[in-house]
Each structure stands twice: as structure tokens, then as C-alpha cells.
Amino acid sequence: MRIDLHTHSSASDGTDTPAELVAAARAAGLDVIALTDHDTTAGWEPAAAALPPGLTLVPGAEISCVTAEPAGRPIPLHVLAYLFDPREEAFRAERGRLQESRLTRARRIVELLEADGLPVSWDRVRELAGSAGAVGRPHIGRALVESGAAGSVPEAFSRYLYTGSPYYVRKAETDVLAAVRLVRAAGGVPVFAHPLARRRGQVVSDVVIAEMADAGLAGLEVDHPDHDPADRAHLRGLAAELGLFVTGSSDYHGSNKAVPLGANLTAPAAYEALVAQAGGARPVAV
Ligand code: AMP
Ligand code: ZN
Ligand code: FE
Ligand code: FE
């Protein structure tokens, strides 16, 4: 069983449409793929409608969250939510708030870039985001690549779009403990995405992870492209201590990132534990 539990489509900041994504997943020899677009479920239906035989789809989302270390600055972090009821009102409203904020914030980033003479327009960013339920910095990055301001999306990030850049604008984020509870209340299963992805900025301490476990966290995403072997070993130990299952994934974004589908995988036993805890939606197979 080849199981990849974290991917993005054009419903957020991936480059494959949901239909292309499920086809690519089957072609890559995967048996199970989770669709986890940022703050939106817009890809669920088109992915399910295009599902090839032999592939199981786990509907999910990756929620933009924030926490405060004791006496520290707020730290942005991501919570993966699987198999929740998309109609449950409290969580649905929160996703709506996050999507709305993504739009106004992306517009403001483009204004700041333009004011500095960089070749990027809001119209083009909107076009690139297309029907995406969640516009993100990678859409702005693609516009900067098109106009020659950067050679690639990762380069657009390291030059202009990184967190803390003069052009960076914060978006709304959900308090991480509230997010864990919202996901559970919607029948879903919350997993902490790439807990030690240091490349993206400051990471949280084990104390915060323990608090998340107390709030209802189910798992830790251990095998992720942004984790080195020492971080993986540490997280595996912590998961065992806290009674959490561990997952693995690619965090595939199509051509916006270099990582291929199936770059890391989840063990079947962990996948079974996840599905056993879910009460809001079921995995989809034809
Ligand atoms: P946003 O959600 O709009 O704040 O944008 C953050 C997203 O951009 C992350 O979730 C990644 O998908 C992507 N991202 C972050 N850093 C990079 C990078 N260096 N290169 C390409 N994509 C990135
Ligand atoms: Zn993304
Ligand atoms: Fe993430
Ligand atoms: Fe992701």
C-alpha cells in the first residue's frame, strides 16, 4: 500500500487540477491520496468525480493556524484535517474567514510589490488563482516568474515572498488549539503538518505539541520533505510518548515545488488508525 496523506491542487496553490491530481496519483502508483488544500474543500467534488479505479481519496484540508510560545511571538503553523463533515457550521465558517483574509492579504502584497516597481498585477494574480478557493503567495510567485522578476516560484519566495520580507503581509489564522477542537467537533481527524519545518521560520516546542495532544490531536506528520533524519527521529519518539500516530507525505504542489507525489509515505496501520477515528466523511473509492 502506497499512501500519501498531504497534497495540494489548483483549488489552493497546487498547479494540477483536482482531476489531474488524482490521475497523476494513480500514475505514480499510489493506492491512497489525501487532498489537503489550504483552508478549502473546493477540490473534494471534482477530485471524487475524476477518481480512477484503484485509488482511494481521503478528503481533507490544511488549516492555517497560529500559536504563541510562552512569552514569545506568535508562530504560524499548519493543521491537517481529514474526513470532517464539510457542512458542519462552526468549522465551515472558520474556513470562510481564512479564505476571505487570503484574498485581501494577497491583494495588499501585490500593492506593496507594485509600489516598489515590481512587474506584477492583481488582475494576473487573480487569473492565475483561477477558481482557487484559497489564493496564496505561490500564485503571486507565478506572476513574478511570468514577468521575469524571478526564475522560479521558490526563487520568488527567497527574493520577495518569504515570511518577514518587506512585502510580507499576515493573513488570518486560527488559534491552533481551537483548530484541533473545531476539526474534532466536525467529526474530523487533526494531524500536525510538518511540525519541524524550520526552513519556513520558527517552529514550536514540544510543550505546544503536548498541548495540542491534550486538545485532541490525533497524529504527527513525521516523514515530510522539510524534515531531516534527526527531526524525524525526535518526532517519532514524541508521538510514541503522546500516543499519536505518525504520517508521511509529499506535500505535493505540482510544478510550484520540486517534490514528486509519493516522496514520503504513511504506514497502513497509521492510515487505519486515522480512518477509525473519523466520523464526518468517509474515504472515497470507485
Ligand atoms: P500562504 O499560504 O499564502 O502564506 O503561502 C505559503 C505557501 O507557499 C506554503 O504553504 C507553501 O505551499 C508555499 N511555499 C512556502 N515557501 C515556499 C518556497 N520557498 N517555494 C515554493 N513554495 C513555497
Ligand atoms: Zn501550499
Ligand atoms: Fe503546510
Ligand atoms: Fe501543504
Sequence ranges of the domains in the chain? 3-96+171-277, 106-161
* The CATH number, out of the four listed (3.40.30.10, 3.90.1150.10, 3.40.50.920, 3.20.20.140), of the domain defined by the range 3-96+171-277: 3.20.20.140
**Residue with grid cell 521560520, as numbered in its chain:** 201
Counting atoms of ligand 1 from 1, which one is nearest the CA of 257? Answer: 21
Mutate to test the pocket of ligand 1, among 157, 168, 173 (most ligand atoms within 8 A of CB): 157
Grade residue 231 by pLDDT with cuts at 50, 70 and 90: very high
CB 242 within 8 A of CB 267: no
Architecture of 106-161 per CATH? Orthogonal Bundle (1.10)
User: Do the domains at 3-96+171-277 and 106-161 have one common CATH topology?
Assistant: no
Counting atoms of ligand 1 from 1, which one is nearest the CA of 106? Answer: 3
What would the pLDDT profile of 122-180 be if each residue is shown by its tens digit?
Answer: 999 999 998 777 899 999 999 999 999 999 999 999 999 998 899 999 999 999 999 99
What would the pLDDT profile of 60-70 be if each residue is shown by its tens digit?
Answer: 999 999 997 66
Q: In degrees rounded to 5, what are phi and psi of residue 13?
A: -110, 25
For residue 233, give the H/E element and its range.
helix 229-242
Q: What DSSP designation does 121 have?
A: -
**Residue with grid cell 507565478, as numbered in its chain:** 142
Contacts of 52 (CB under 8 A, 6+ apart): 22, 23, 26, 286
Mutate to test the pocket of ligand 1, among 137, 226, 250 (most ligand atoms within 8 A of CB): 137
- Residue ranges near ligand 4 (ion) with Cβ within 5 Å: 62, 251
Q: What does the mean pLDDT of the chain come to?
A: 96
